Chains A and B, each alone.
Chain A
Amino acid sequence: MNNSILQTRDLAIGYPAGKRLGMSGNRRSGNRSKIVAEGMSLELREGELVCLLGPNGSGKSTLMRTLAGVQKPLGGEVLLSGTRLDRLSARDGARLLSLVLTDKVLTGNLSVYALVALGRYPYTGWAGNLSPRDEAVVRHAIETTGTRMFAHRHLGDLSDGERQKVMIARAIAQDTPVIMLDEPTAHLDLPNRLEIVRLLKMLAREQKKAIVLSTHELDMALQTADRIWLMRPVDAPHGERKSSIVSGIPESLVLDGQLEQAFRRKGFEFDLHSGSFRFRHDAERTIGLVGDGVRAYWTRRALERIGCRVVPGTAVPQHVVVAGENGTGHWQFFDGSTRNPHKLQALSDVLTAVGVSASSGEVVR
């Protein structure tokens, strides 16, 4: 299966010496080239959706820029469709790889249609006139992204989600085998995020495009990516910050603990079951919980949120029992001092009762 479209060999990315204006006041670091990551050998195949993950400052954007040819590599090489990136003409490169950036577009009176049509720049003559084929490609891109109904509108009149779809339509109109997107779902609400991801997934599946997107959304990446490129900071000598990259299918990265390592911080823990990070509460007290089903699950969540360690059963003096059916249900709270439970109708009352008993407990002690 050799349908790889983009490869890197021993790639080093970063900033060359003396070109880091305004990066820091530190002269010594300004005189040396700053390597963000090195020794990267990656491969991107047709029809594959790759999520680029990594904490802030790990070099995701630098990698994207280098792969897209906007920034020069410090070492190694990038092969796009078998040709070294620096041997490709700008025009040929633009026919192989398109970008969706977070840059704000100077909209002017640019209509959606005109903006998508700009994607045909690498194919048109000096005057930029669209051929019938160019027009067909533009229209197809607009229909694929579902932006048809606002094709005549100005870019300034669109919502963030609509605008992102239009920018993706522009990339589709560029008709390249590789599309790279820098945080395409940032600032979008959940339905829009899902829609964008579904669209990208569809492009990879049906049009055999290779898609790389950087994101901070772990859940989404774990659910949709065919592969994850995970950048994580590693300790380097002299207190420098460097990153290394691992490539793998999402599930393996979770099971290996790679994902957890990359994002590990104080106060968080990675939940292997849900595949997401949670606040780690330094629980001061333990509360028992009896019950099952959805209500018990959310009761547990609520108790953990206010800082309790929740254990199943009634072995602990203070415990909560989830009682009754969904519609008529209530909670019983045993505060440990009396045998009779407090019967509570709302979850918020449970939290209040638990909180009150905590403070009164302290007074006793």
Chain B
Amino acid sequence: MAVRISGAQASDGHAWPLLSPKAGMLFVLLLALLLLFLLDIVLGSVQIPLESVIGILLGRGAEHPAWEKIITAIRLPKAATAVIAGAALSVSGLQMQTLFRNPLAGPSVLGISAGASLGVAVVMLASGGAANAFAIRQLGFGGSWLIVIAATLGAMAVLLIVLGIAVRIRDNVVLLIVGIMVGNITISLISIWQYFSEPEQIQDYLIWTFGSLGGVLGPQLAVLGAVVALGLLVSFSASKSLNVLLLGENYARSLGMSTFFVRVSVIAATSLLAGSVTGFCGPIGFIGIAVPHLTRSMLDTSDHRFLMPSCCLVGGILMLACDIVAQMPGTQTTLPINAVTALIGSPVVIWVIMKQRNLKSSFS
């Protein structure tokens, strides 16, 4: 990042403050991400020695063909999915918090995840009468294009409703309540749909709601990666405008920013990011709200040009950590990822918020 100001010394000897946080922090985060990535691949229900894992990753093969299969076909895609999902959810949460000027905003709070769930529910539960039921079952949970598209459309629909109301309401607290209510309406639609569905379909859907990083393999991983990359690109390009949005919409407009453009950009990016991840991995909570706070307090900056990449890294790290805990190393059991993110994450967030005394002044 080329924003660091060359250490100009002022006349009285005090250096001007730097706009950028320590670039070394990004490097440390990257290193941590790589370490956890490796750890996530090494640990699992089948014990594979570290040397063999590295050998397989470097393409040298392994003494047991089964190990190679486990690593390349299961653990590697799962770890990659964790990084992608963590990055996507964190960046969408960051944008929502800035756009709505609310520390509690995030894809799950404002009904976006619920919207994605409704999209998925429509596809999964409506299949009872539809001809494509078999095809969807074959593809497994969240495996098909159809589910991703349904999730993205569902997320976008709810976000558009919330934003349509946001245009009329200036009060952020009111808007947040509206968002939560829209989410509740969406969830109740899902329950009604479930009530009239077959038990197996409900079970499929329920398992989908637990969240899973394991179902994204091969071409699906490529699709998820591409969609998230597109969403991240849109998000990154809005960094400058999001910085100005910290001043509020009136200031942003007076500085020549198109608030309409930024809103559309954030909606589009968040729908792509949260929608696709929810479609493939299920509704993963907490990450979207927590990571932006963690990142802000770690980097001590509000410059989105740094927060965006850092959120990607921190989100990836946290998701990998959750995945490591979820597979309970040394046992045959795997916990649902959605439960683990909240279980581990919430105390972390509470700790950060207690430590960071200026959170309230940051947002209210």
Stretch among B178-186, B236-244, B315-323 lining the A interface: B236-244
Choose, from B69-77, B198-206, B251-259, the stretch at the interface.
B251-259
Residues of the A chain whose Cβ atoms lie less than 8 Å from the Cβ of B361: 107, 156
Q: What 1/0 flags go to A116-132 for Cβ under 8 Å of B?
A: 01110110101111100
Cβ–Cβ contact B358 & A99, under 8 A = no
A323 interface residue (CB < 8 Å to B): no
C-alpha spacing A174/B257, complex, angstroms: 13
Q: Mark B12-30, 1 if CB is under 8 A from A, else 0.
A: 0000110100000000000
- CB of B17 within 8 A of CB of A118, answer no
Q: What are the residues of chain B within 8 A of A148 when measuring CB–CB?
A: 10
Residues of A within 8 A of B240 (CB): 121, 124, 126-128
In the complex, the answer to whether B246 meets A106 with C-beta atoms within 8 Å is yes
**Is A110 positioned at the interface, with any CB of B under 8 Å from its CB?**
yes
A70 to B255, alpha carbons, bound, how many Å? 11
CA distance A363 to B256 in the complex (A): 72
List B249-289 residues whose CB lies under 8 Å from chain A: 250-251, 253-258
Judged by a CB distance under 8 angstroms, whether A108 is at the interface is yes
Interchain CB contact under 8 A, B302 and A108: yes
Q: Which A residues are CB-close (under 8 A) to B8?
A: 135
Residue of B nearest to A121 (CB): B255
Binding site for A on B (CB under 8 A): 2-3, 5, 8, 10, 16-17, 19, 98, 101, 168, 237, 239-240, 243-244, 246-248, 250-251, 253-258, 296-297, 299-303, 305, 358, 361-364
Whether A90 sits at the interface, judged by CB under 8 Å, is yes
Known: A121-B257, A156-B361. A101 touches B251 (CB 8 A): yes
For A99, the closest partner residue in chain B by CB is B254
Shortest A291–chain B CB gap in Å is 53
> What string of 1s and 0s marks CB contacts (under 8 Å) between A82-112 and chain B?
0000000111111101110101111111111
Asked if A354 lies at the interface with its beta carbon under 8 angstroms from chain B, I say no
Q: Which residues on B sit within 8 Å (CB–CB) of A110?
A: 246, 302
Q: How far, in whole Å, are A314 and B5 apart by their CA atoms in the complex? A: 75
| A151 neighbours in B (Cβ, 8 Å) | 16-17
Which residues from chain A contact B364 at a C-beta distance below 8 Å? Answer: 104
Q: Is the CB of B250 within 8 A of A103?
A: yes
User: Which residues of the partner chain A approach B247 to less than 8 Å between Cβ atoms?
Assistant: 103, 105-106, 115, 118
Instruction: Return chain A residues, CB-CB under 8 Å to B17.
Output: 111-113, 151-152
Given known contacts A114-B19, A152-B17, A130 and B3 CB-to-CB distance under 8 angstroms? yes
CB distance from B18 to the nearest CB of A (A): 8
**B297's closest neighbor in chain A, by CB?**
A109
Please pick, from B2, B250, B256, B300, the residue contacting A121 in the complex, using a CB distance under 8 A.
B256
Instruction: Please name all residues of chain A whose beta carbon is closer than 8 Å to the beta carbon of B255 when the two chains form the complex.
Output: 94, 98, 118-119, 121-122, 174
Q: Across the interface, which residues of B come within 8 angstroms of A68, CB to CB?
A: 254
Point out which of A69, A89, A110 has the most chain B C-beta atoms below 10 A from its C-beta.
A110
Q: Which residues of B contact A122 (CB under 8 A)?
A: 255-256
Q: Look across to chain A and name the residue whose beta carbon is closest to the beta carbon of B19.
A: A114
Closest to A157 in B: B358
B362 contacts across to A, CB distance below 8 A: 106-109, 156
Are B248 and A94 interface neighbours, CB within 8 A? no
Query: B363 — which chain A residues lie within 8 A by C-beta?
Result: 106, 108
Q: Are B302 and A113 closer than 8 Å at their CB atoms?
A: no
CA A122 to CA B98, docked complex, whole Å:
20
Given contacts A95-B256, A126-B237, 19 further A-B contacts (CB under 8 A): A21-B168, A70-B250, A70-B254, A89-B256, A98-B254, A101-B248, A106-B101, A107-B362, A108-B363, A111-B17, A113-B16, A114-B303, A118-B246, A118-B247, A126-B240, A128-B240, A139-B16, A148-B10, A156-B361
Name the CB-closest residue of A to B240: A128
Residues of B within 8 A of A94 (CB): 254-256
Complex CA distance for A101 and B251, rounded to whole angstroms: 8
Chain A 334-357 per-residue mask, 1 if CB under 8 angstroms from chain B, else 0: 000000000000000000000000
In the complex formed, the residue of B with least CB distance to A98 is B254
User: What's the Cα separation between A93 and B256 when bound, in Å?
Assistant: 7
CA distance A126 to B363 in the complex (A): 26
Q: For the complex, is A154 an interface residue (Cβ under 8 Å from B)?
A: yes
Residue of A nearest to B242 (CB): A128
What are 7 A-to-B residue pairs whose CB atoms are below 8 Å?
A106-B98, A109-B297, A112-B17, A113-B16, A113-B17, A127-B240, A139-B10
CB distance from B40 to the nearest CB of A (A): 30
Which 3 pairs, one residue from A and one from B, show the smallest C-beta to C-beta distance? A94-B256, A108-B302, A128-B240
Please state if B301 and A129 are interface contacts (CB–CB under 8 Å). Answer: no
State the Cβ distance, B66 to closest chain A Cβ, in Å. Answer: 48
Q: Quick one: CB contact mask for A311-350 with B, threshold 8 Å, 1 for yes?
A: 0000000000000000000000000000000000000000
Cα distance, A314 to B3, chains bound together (Å): 78
Q: A97–B254 contact, CB under 8 A? A: yes
Separation of A126 and B239 alpha carbons in the complex (Å): 9
User: What's the Cα separation between A282 and B219 when bound, in Å?
Assistant: 88
- Which A residues lie within 8 Å of B19 (CB)? 113-114, 117, 130
Residues in B with CB closer than 8 Å to A126 are: 237, 240
What's the least CB distance linking B290 to chain A, in Å? 16
- List, in ascending order, chain A residues with CB within 8 A of B237's CB: 126
Closest B residue to A122 by beta carbon equals B256
Report whether A154 and B358 are in contact in the complex, using a CB–CB cutoff of 8 Å: yes
Among B10, B257, B296, point to the contact of A90 (Cβ < 8 A): B257
Q: Which residues of A contact B253 (CB under 8 A)?
A: 70, 90
Give the nearest-CB partner of A120 in chain B: B255
Contact partner of A106 (CB less than 8 A), chosen from B248, B258, B299, is B248
CA distance A58 to B265 in the complex (A): 38
> Which residues does chain B contribute within 8 Å of A127, judged by CB atoms?
239-240, 305
What does the 1/0 interface line of A146-181 toward B look like (CB < 8 Å)?
Answer: 001001101011000000000000000010000000
Contact of A129 among B3, B168, B250, B296 (CB under 8 A): B3
Residues in chain A near residue B5, CB distance under 8 A:
130, 135
CA–CA, A130 to B243, complex, Å? 14
